[in-house]
Structure 1
Amino acid sequence: MPIPVLRDEEAKPQAEPTQPPEDEKKLLAEAKNGNTDAFGKLVQRYQRRVYTVIYRFVRNHTEADDLAQEAFIRAFKAIGRFDLRYPFSPWIYRIAINLTLNHLKKRRLPMVDADLERKPSADNPVSVLEQVETRRKVHAAIARLPLKLRQVLVLRVYEDWPYSQIAQVLDIPIGTVMSRLARARQAVKEELKELL
């Protein structure tokens, strides 16, 4: 199912949209009419989720905060073109993910894993070191994936998004999501053969 996109001035959906919840629809209508308080309520509703998705890509709290804020600013500026027949979440996720991917492309930022800073729960120092090293290798392998494969893997594995939501937000068919995910998993598996 297509979602509203900002590709051109008038994105034309090709299928019947899923209706947003009534309270969200009301907030969206008010925001389209310039009510900043209504838009602020939408931000409060989605801010944490948008931040989390962005953080999974950039692995830096400050950058994730900045990118999430920028995503909402862009959404606010474009809210007048938003089609009220659609829910807000796929649209804001699309803005956030596109912004994040563009940011990563410009900066060529590696995905640094904050999970590496966490101490594994084990009493044996050798086991602790092995766990840290394994985690580092897995995340390094994921960071080396092509961006198209990495974004699907991150959204499915880390964020536990259903295939349909990934397809909707990335504007690709579900079959493409599944094939990219399979290729990503295979690439990581190949790179980590010695660990398996």
Structure 2
Amino acid sequence: MDLLLKKAQLGDDKAFEEIVEQFQKKIFSYCYYVLRNTHEAEDITQEVFLKVYKNIQRCSDGNAFNPWIYKIASNQCRTVLKRKTKLQRLLKAFTSKSAQMSSEQAYFEKTVSNIEWFQTLKVIEKQILILRIINDQTFEAISKILDIKPASLRKRYERIKKKVEKYRDSEGSDLYQQLRFRIREEN
């Protein structure tokens, strides 16, 4: 990664294309599972690579690149989620309860009900799970991405696992494990 990064920093477009090819699916996957929306995930993925292209000189070495790009993705997702939350509050304030749901709202409701336990998690908890389970990031990398001390991150992760393990489907199987296998099969 060091050589590829150095070439991209010197303006080699082929090297940057290789970086995009290596990380595009991973970043999209991360954004999708945080945002739960394909179009937003695609947009954020593009924004991430634009920021990487513009700021590639700031990345010091190849080992720091992985956490750096996920940090950019994490920040972009947080921004979108904040906007969504504000928009939802505004919509609630200005719409009557008897108004019919739009097709997007109906889709969102359907998606939420499919992974109800996932929606009970805080944004930071979702990010930790996604980075650890879906993207197979180390605790050290996640701590750099999310600006959390590694020891604190491990404790949070264990608390999240316990929280998620409370939710079981009707057959008693662990939904946490189901998510892990389902996501791995999709990728």
TM-score grouping bracket, smaller chain normalisation: 0.5 to 0.7
Aligned to 2:43: 66
- Which residue of the other structure, out of 157, 163, 177, is the alignment partner of 1:187? 163
Q: Given that residues 148 and 180 in structure 1 are in contact (C-alpha distance below 8 angstroms), is that contact kept between their aligned partners in structure 2?
A: no
Amino acid in structure 2 at the alignment position of 1:27: L
Residues 114-158 of structure 1, C-alpha deviation per residue, up to 9 Å, x if partnerless?
9x77xxxxxxxxxxxxxxxxx947x22321222222221232244
Could you state the TM-score of these two structures normalised by the residue count of structure 1?
0.64
Gaps of 5+ in 1: 1-23, 118-134
Aligned to 1:10: none
- Which residue of the other structure, out of 35, 44, 54, is the alignment partner of 2:31? 54
| 3-state SS in 2 of match to 1:86 | helix
Separation of aligned partners in 1, 2:139 and 2:4? 28
Gaps of 5+ in 2: 89-105, 173-187
Amino acid in structure 1 at the alignment position of 2:66: S
Residues 64-95 of structure 1, C-alpha deviation per residue, up to 9 Å, x if partnerless?
11111100000111112221363422211111
CA RMSD of aligned residues (A): 3.1
Amino acid in structure 2 at the alignment position of 1:75: V
**Structure 1 residue 159 displacement after superposition:** 3.7
Aligned to 1:129: none
Q: Given that residues 132 and 139 in structure 2 are in contact (C-alpha distance below 8 angstroms), is that contact kept between their aligned partners in structure 1?
A: yes
Separation of aligned partners in 1, 2:159 and 2:107? 22
2:148 corresponds to 1:172: yes
Q: How many residues align?
A: 152
Residues 26-77 of structure 1, C-alpha deviation per residue, up to 9 Å, x if partnerless?
2211221222222112111111111111111112221111111100000111
Cα gap change, 1:87 to 1:193, in 2 (>3 Å):
closer
Amino acid in structure 1 at the alignment position of 2:3: K
Amino acid in structure 1 at the alignment position of 2:13: T
Could you state the TM-score of these two structures normalised by the residue count of structure 2?
0.67
